[in-house]
């Protein structure tokens, strides 16, 4: 692994949350001032393929990357795009397994909602 790859992995593992490639580039440039977008994109692809990080694809949003490899699902606010981890959806796999014909491999659930901050700001537009 190169120094820059080490730094990228460290950023993802030490910062809980979900980051776009652009945000990761900005974070990386604090220590590697000349890091290029191409380097960041290439390494994010490699890390995702190798299972070192997780890529989270959400409708209508840029792709996010995260270092948290514990299985979990996501809730995204449709207004501000804030992504929240859903850790405790126990029983989801069993529910899904009962509704498909075949063997369940994995689930990747996204819950779309309007967060309380946005619900206040929009004056009930979504209700
Ligand atoms: Zn919101
Ligand atoms: Zn997550």
Over residues 30-57, the pLDDT tens digits come to 999 999 999 999 999 999 999 999 999 8
Distance 4 CA to ligand 2 centre (A): 23
Q: Does 25 have pLDDT greater than 70? A: yes
Distance 3 CA to ligand 2 centre (A): 26
Q: What share of residues in the chain are helix, strand, coil (percent, to 5)?
A: 35, 15, 50
Percent of the chain having pLDDT more than 90? 58
Distance 6 CA to ligand 1 centre (A): 33
Average pLDDT over every residue of 81-99? 83
Note whether 54 and 73 are within 8 A (CB). no
Q: Does 20 have pLDDT greater than 70? A: yes
Q: Which ligand is nearest to the CA of 117?
A: 1
| Structure tokens given for 93 | 């796999």
Q: What residue ranges define each of the domains in the chain, with the CATH number in brackets?
A: 3-66 (1.10.10.10), 73-121 (3.30.1490.190)
Q: What is the pLDDT of residue 28?
A: 97
| Of residues 58 and 76, more confidently modeled | 76
């Amino acid at each position: 692994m190169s120094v820059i790859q080490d730094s990228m992995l460290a950023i993802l593992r030490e910062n809980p949350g979900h980051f776009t490639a652009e945000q990761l580039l900005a974070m990386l440039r604090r220590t590697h001032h000349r890091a290029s977008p191409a380097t960041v994109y290439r390494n994010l692809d490699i890390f995702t393929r190798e299972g070192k990080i997780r890529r989270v694809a959400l409708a209508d949003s840029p792709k996010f990357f995260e270092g948290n490899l514990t299985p979990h699902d996501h809730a995204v606010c449709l207004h501000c795009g804030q992504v929240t981890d859903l850790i405790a959806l126990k029983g989801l796999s069993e529910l899904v397994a009962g509704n498909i014909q075949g063997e369940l491999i994995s689930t990747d659930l996204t819950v779309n909602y309007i967060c309380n901050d946005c619900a206040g700001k929009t004056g009930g537009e979504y209700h």
